[in-house]
Amino acid sequence: MITIKSEREIELMKVSGALVAQTLDLLEQEIKPGMTTKELDRMAEVFIRDHHAVPSFLNYVPKSDPDVTPYPATLCVSINEEVVHGVPNIKRVVKEGDIVSIDCGVYKGGYHGDAARTFVLGIIDEKVQQLVDVTNECLERGIAMAVEGNRLHDISSAIEEYARSFRFSVIENMVGHGIGSDLHEDPAVPNYGRKHTGVKLVEGMTLAIEPMIALGRSRRAVSRRNEWVAVTEDGKASAHFEHTIVVRPGKAEVLTRTFLTK
Ligand code: MF3
Ligand code: CO
């Protein structure tokens, strides 16, 4: 069931979204080669709690898989071939040449915000840099379709088309999602699909749109049993960007932007 949010609820989601964006801004300023992913996680958790909010991902258990170990951190930090859900670790060091997806969720006032950016550390391979730029543009093109009267897969197909035009691979088994009082609500928002299909978009739908795009041929992110991190099948790099948005007439409203992402 897709819930349409009232303007009062959207006001609360703006607060959560703004805090997610500020947390990512902080990490963008602080991330440096030599840091551990655990240090990044700690910094984010302290910042979020200092702002009277709770990390959305911490202790999260997917409804589809209630036996999995609850997610043990504030952030997902996914490096290079890691697509999503990289668990912060005191032994995992980020280094020059890496691309690092940081995904952050915040719960405050009864509502979640969710966003991700892929950071580039130092000088990286030209093709990998292009992957990062194209994935960010995929997100922008998806957001541009999130307007009242369009259909859900107009978002999906805009993402897919742009990624494919560079012969990049769309990760198909991980999707965006509705968001609100639950981190994951209906509908699922795939990053591929046929335009003019899917549910009609209505003002007040709140969506987390999150393209995951890879070099190479992998169309799936796979994880080992009892492990959270999901990687490309061929070990090639993957990038990930995400915003929480509200469907509006004419132009979607983005709840997780800051001057750094404008
Ligand atoms: N943005 C991701 C998602 O929507 C992060 C979830 S991490 C989890 O799935 F721990 F909460 F699963
Ligand atoms: Co999400």
DSSP assignment of 88-134, as one string? P-TT-B--TT-EEEEEEEEEETTEEEEEEEEEE-SS--HHHHHHHHH
SS3 of residue 73 by DSSP: coil
pLDDT at 83 exceeding the cut of 80: yes
Distance 221 CA to ligand 1 centre (A): 14
Q: Is residue 2 part of a domain?
A: no
How does pLDDT run across 154-165, given as a tens digit for each residue?
999 999 999 999
Q: Is residue 259 part of a domain?
A: no
Ligand 1 pocket mutation, candidates 24, 85, 171, criterion most atoms within 8 A of CB: 85
Distance 66 CA to ligand 1 centre (A): 14
User: 180: closest CA among 96, 260, 105?
Assistant: 105
Q: What is the mean pLDDT of the chain?
A: 97
Q: Is residue 54 part of a domain?
A: yes
CATH number at residue 76: 3.90.230.10
- Cis, peptide link before residue 187, omega less than 30° from 0: yes
Distance from C-alpha of 85 to C-alpha of 103, rounded to nearest angstrom: 8
Residue 66 burial (CB count, 10 A): 8
Residue 76 CB–ligand 1 contact under 6 Å: yes
Is the separation of the CB atoms in 241 and 205 below 8 Å? Answer: no
How does pLDDT run across 191-236, given as a tens digit for each residue?
999 999 999 999 999 999 999 999 999 999 999 988 999 999 999 9
Total number of domains constituting the chain: 1
Structure tokens at 45: 């958790």
Q: Is residue 80 part of a domain?
A: yes
How does pLDDT run across 141-194, given as a tens digit for each residue?
999 999 999 999 999 999 999 999 999 999 999 999 999 999 999 999 999 999
SS3 of residue 38 by DSSP: helix
Q: Is residue 1 part of a domain?
A: no
Q: Is residue 261 part of a domain?
A: no
Distance from C-alpha of 30 to C-alpha of 68, rounded to nearest angstrom: 32
Mean pLDDT across the stretch 47-65?
95
pLDDT of residue 255: 98
Q: Take atom 11 of ligand 1 and give the residue whose Cα is closest.
A: 57
Ligand 1: nearest atom to the Cα of 103: 1
Structural domain of 125 = 7-254
CB burial of residue 130 (10 Å; 0-12, 13-18, 19+): middle
What is the four-CA torsion angle of 174, 160, 205, 14, rounded to 10 degrees?
A: 80
User: What's this model's pTM, rounded to 2 decimal places?
Assistant: 0.98
Q: Is residue 219 part of a domain?
A: yes
Ligand 1: nearest atom to the Cα of 57: 11
How does pLDDT run across 115-136, given as a tens digit for each residue?
999 999 999 999 999 999 999 9
Ligand 1 pocket mutation, candidates 68, 74, 75, 103, criterion most atoms within 8 A of CB: 103
Residue 62 — pLDDT band, cuts 50, 70, 90? confident
pLDDT of residue 65: 82
pLDDT at 64 exceeding the cut of 90: no
Q: Is residue 88 part of a domain?
A: yes
